[in-house]
Amino acid sequence: MNLRGWTAWAPGRETPAAWRAWALDAVPGAQREEAAAAEAEAPSVREIPPLLRRRADKMGRAALHVLSRPELPYGDQAIVLCSRIGEFSRSFALQDELAREGRVSPQQFSMAVHNAAGGLFMMARAANAPLSALAAGEEGALAGLQETLGLFADGAETVWLLYCDEPLPREYHSFASARELTAYFAFLLELSPGDEFHLAPEGGDEDGKAMTDRAASPLDLLAFFLRPGDGALRLSPRGGWMLRRTPRGRS
């Protein structure tokens, strides 16, 4: 598996240079984005037709922005969308509206599903490719890679892997993870000779640096891809799976 390209966006961290600088300083497991950052305005997403764009809320617009970057054009590939809570802010607003008024907006309800942003993007591109939506809790990084490899096994040559999340609404902060994130990023992965990355069972002294007692977060995965010096990332302590970088000169 090779990383052909990537795009990313977060409030205050919008350029490739800013993300590479972040990756060099990132401490695995410590990437908590401040809740205040979630209050920032989402990108305008002018690349998406207005009739579709206005249906997206802040989270949807940020995801559409990441998928629409001109430096990494979409080519009708399958998309794997990974999000721990998905459109939860919209769902929470609908629940509040239902409790207060006894009814909800059908249009808002239709956009509260987990794959809403991916569906809008596919409609904007008139794409006829598969779209998978995953919610894997703390193991989103591993689940997204596993789904990608499954698509490769079914014959796909390239796959978009999209991660997007934001902190829970304030009313749910007591249930929030210590690793809430406000970030949106996508990888264009391909299956070709000379794989740079591969999944493998953990084991051996070389894994000592990567061993932790928790699953890697999606932000851990982004930092791993952007930091060429790291040789392995422990994706899940339960299953013992590692993402390994193939040393240069080997395949």
Check residue 250 and give its pLDDT.
46
pTM of the full structure: 0.84
Give the CATH number of the domain where residue 73 resides.
3.40.47.10
182 occurs within a structural domain: yes
The count of C-alpha atoms lying within 13 angstroms of the C-alpha of 180, restricted to the half-sphere facing its C-beta, is 20
If you average pLDDT over residues 54-76, what whole number do you get? Answer: 88
The count of structural domains within the chain is: 1
The band of 251, judged by pLDDT with boundaries at 50, 70 and 90, is: very low
DSSP the chain: -EEEEEEEEBTTB-SHHHHHHHHHHPPTT--PPPGGGGGSPPP--TTS-HHHHTT--HHHHHHHHHHT-TTS---S-EEEEE-SS-SHHHHHHHHHHHHHHS---HHHHHT-STTHHHHHHHHHHT--S-EEEE--GGGHHHHHHHHHHHHHHTT-SEEEEEEEE-PPPGGGGGG--TT---EEEEEEEE--SS-SEEEEE--SGGGGGG--SSPPPHHHHHHHHH-TT--EEEEETTTTEEEEEPPTT--
Per the CB < 8 A criterion, the answer to whether 49 and 124 are in contact is: yes
Q: Is pLDDT at 130 greater than 80 in this prediction?
A: yes
Domain that holds residue 45: 2-197
Domain assignment of residue 251, yes or no: no
pLDDT at residue number 77: 94
In a domain, 234, yes or no: no
**Per-residue model confidence as pLDDT tens digits over 43-54:** 888 888 888 888
Residue 225 within any structural domain of the chain: no
| pLDDT tens string 72-115 | 899 999 999 998 877 777 777 777 777 888 777 777 777 777 78
Region for 240 from its dihedrals, namely left if φ exceeds 0, alpha if ψ lies in -120 to 50, beta otherwise: left
Q: Which tens digit of pLDDT belongs to each residue from 163-172?
A: 988 877 777 7
Tell me whether residue 231 is in a domain. Answer: no
Does residue 76 belong to any structural domain of this protein? yes
> For the chain, what percent of residues have pLDDT higher than 90?
31
Please indicate whether residue 20 or residue 210 has the higher confidence score (pLDDT).
Answer: 20
